[in-house]
Structure 1
Amino acid sequence: MEPIQPAAHDADPCAPQPVSPEDLERLRGMSFGSLPADMMQMSAALGAVAPAATIFGKAFLEALAKRSAEGVAALPGKLRQRWFRQGHDGSDGGLAAVLDIENVGAAAILVTADLPDEARVALIDLDPTEPGLLGKVLGWDVERRQWVAVEPPTTQVDRPTR
């Protein structure tokens, strides 16, 4: 089932708009007054990833709460978002968030701007506390249509601000 999209006239003009890889590439090397191109690039990437991180963070908490008799209130830590540049060397400039719960033995999830709604639904049914997943970072495999262990990104960046 496809998610219901708001009509064009209902769209929030202040909501972040997706940025294509081509647009990000055009930003490289450009100057915007006193703001370096990298800062503009990170801001554009954040606009695409931050909403997804919020949505998937909620689904991640729901998945963990289902495994706890007391629910989310019983979790011994808080949701943590760590920000990374995508790619092993961090060269492509895209941002990703790794979500996990502090002090909880559970897998973390990798959130990118292009995650489909199907991934969020599958996350709700995932058991991130399963012993075989402990300490792993899970990313969405589009072909297999499931969460799988992935190599975590390595280039951590400061939490982006808008």
Structure 2
Amino acid sequence: MQPDAITAIVDQWRRERPDLDASPMLVIGRLFRLTHALDQRLRPPFADVGLGSGDFDLLAALRRSGAPYALSAGDLSRTVLVTTGAITKRVDRLEARGLVARRVDATDSRGRLISLTPEGVALTDELIAVHLDNQRRLLAGLDDDERTQLAALLERLAVTSQPEDD
């Protein structure tokens, strides 16, 4: 296998600054480049049906929440890791398309729930199948054991690299 661009960058730093250990770039640099490349390959099916960046994430969060496929803006914000303002903008777009609806929360008349419409459920179910097929194709260069090992390593990295609470 031919060295990638990140290896070349690390080799250059080793030459220029042999006093520094540039090896973390072999992981972090690759993660950054891979994230961008994966995003470019995963977004087209969503764009093909007119969904903006993050719209599918919101639809998927509602769908996987289980029937009746409804969450508050705050719950959605915590699930998809964006602000409630960003949630509002996405909901506005998706509501205009008939994919989600806002309704009064039966347990708190001041609160609103965002729920999938039947059209939203159908589109989300269709897109998640396409999305998972894309992900399988992107991971085809790894065998089952390698995928399992990589998933475990990434989980450990995610857990151990979280900022400590003050």
What TM-score results when the alignment is normalised by the length of structure 2?
A: 0.29
Which is richer in helix?
A: 2
Structure ranking higher on relative contact order (CA contacts 8 Å, 6+ apart) = 1
Normalization by structure 1: what TM-score?
Answer: 0.29
Specify the structure having the higher radius of gyration (Cα).
Answer: 2
